[in-house]
Amino acid sequence: MHVAIVGIGLIGGSVALDLRRAGFATRLTGVGSSPARAEIALQLGLVDRVTTLETAVREADLVILAIPVDRIVAMLPQLLDWVDHQTVTDMGSTKQAIVDAIRHHPRRNRFVAAHPMAGTENSGPTAAQARLFEGKVAVLCDLADSAPDAVQTIEDLYTTLGMRLTRLDAATHDLQAAYVSHLPHVLSYALARTVLQQEQTDPAIFTLAGGGFASTARLAKSAPDMWTPIFRQNRTAVLAAIQAYQQQLQTLQDAIAAGDESRLRTLITEANDIRRVLA
């Protein structure tokens, strides 16, 4: 299968590695906005060649959009104009804005909305890694609007990547992603800003930063070009998640302020129930 990957950074490059290794892709074409990054992707063997978007789409069997969600929304309507038999999918962290952008496009059925729930805080083609997606969840959305053969192609894609498939409507995906994916990034950015601000008057503060801080603040290294559009597109759900978190934070703050040891133990014990889902 000839696969075109638009965006050959962490996600697109990692997909390319595994599709080549598994033999799913017999030919890999890349499309990148940065000539320098495209050259690196070629040198690393992530893709066989780099070309223009229109050429890549018209020649491919499968087109994968692994770019920031604002660019997906802007690009997808025109991209579908070039599609005949091809299957097109995206790997964006929001879904509603994307499917709304092409809801009435005559080739809407060639598109399958998807979100592989995997990644790291790093970016660019040098960040690509094999088996990044293995064992993770891939969400496929609004499948009734996609052609059965296109859906099958994308199911085969994620099965090849070793992912577990789940199916949701776009609105439900965005709400759930706001809590388990987008909110953690908000909190990590806020934590990093808080401690960096304290560093201005206490320069030695990071000498105490250990594994707990590093793991909690790791997401704050994620690029603004990716996350600013996510927060904007999923604003309503993200704000609801932030408000729910603030209520929990206030509950803990009140217990700490009151010196209420019994209440604190209860709140922490209740939080420990997360062990059910996080080993």
pLDDT at 211: 87
Q: Which helix (H) or strand (E) holds 253?
A: helix 235-258
Query: Dmax over Cα atoms in the chain, in whole Å?
Result: 67
Q: Is the pTM of this model over 0.75?
A: yes
What phi-psi label fits residue 222: left (phi over 0), alpha (psi between -120 and 50 degrees) or beta? Answer: beta
With cut-offs at 50, 70 and 90, classify the pLDDT of residue 6.
Answer: very high
The CA distance from 131 to 44, in Å, is 16
Check pLDDT > 90 for residue 120. no
Token duo for residue 77: 């309507």
Q: Helix, strand, coil % (nearest 5) of the chain?
A: 60, 15, 30
The CA distance from 204 to 41, in Å, is 39
Asked whether 50 and 77 are in contact (CB, 8 A), the reply is no
Check pLDDT > 80 for residue 279. no
The CA distance from 171 to 143, in Å, is 13
The beta strands (E) that lie in 162-221 are given as 164-168
Check pLDDT > 90 for residue 33. no
The CA distance from 67 to 15, in Å, is 13
Tell me the per-residue pLDDT of 220-266, one tens digit each, with 9 for 90 and over.
999 999 999 999 999 999 999 999 999 999 999 999 999 999 999 99
The CA distance from 115 to 98, in Å, is 11
Tell me the per-residue pLDDT of 138-170, one tens digit each, with 9 for 90 and over.
999 999 999 999 999 999 999 999 999 999 999
Asked whether 201 and 258 are in contact (CB, 8 A), the reply is no
Parallel, antiparallel or unpaired: strands 62-65 and 87-90: parallel
pLDDT at 36: 84
Residues 6 or more apart whose Cβ sits within 8 Å of residue 181: 93, 117
Buried b (16+ CB within 10 A) or exposed e, 198-225: eeeeeeeeeeeeeeeeeeebebbebeee
Tell me the per-residue pLDDT of 39-86, one tens digit each, with 9 for 90 and over.
899 899 999 999 999 999 999 999 999 999 999 999 999 999 999 999
Q: Delineate the domains of the chain, giving CATH numbers in brackets.
A: 2-168 (3.40.50.720), 173-276 (1.10.3660.10)
pLDDT at 196: 96
Tell me the per-residue pLDDT of 164-214, one tens digit each, with 9 for 90 and over.
999 999 999 999 999 999 999 999 999 999 999 999 999 999 998 888 999
* pLDDT (average), residues 120-125: 86
Residue with tokens 């604190």: 264
pLDDT at 37: 84
Q: How far is CA 233 from CA 14, 74, 76, in A?
A: 25, 13, 16
Q: How far is CA 119 from CA 63, 150, 179, 191, in A?
A: 20, 24, 17, 20
The CA distance from 165 to 185, in Å, is 24
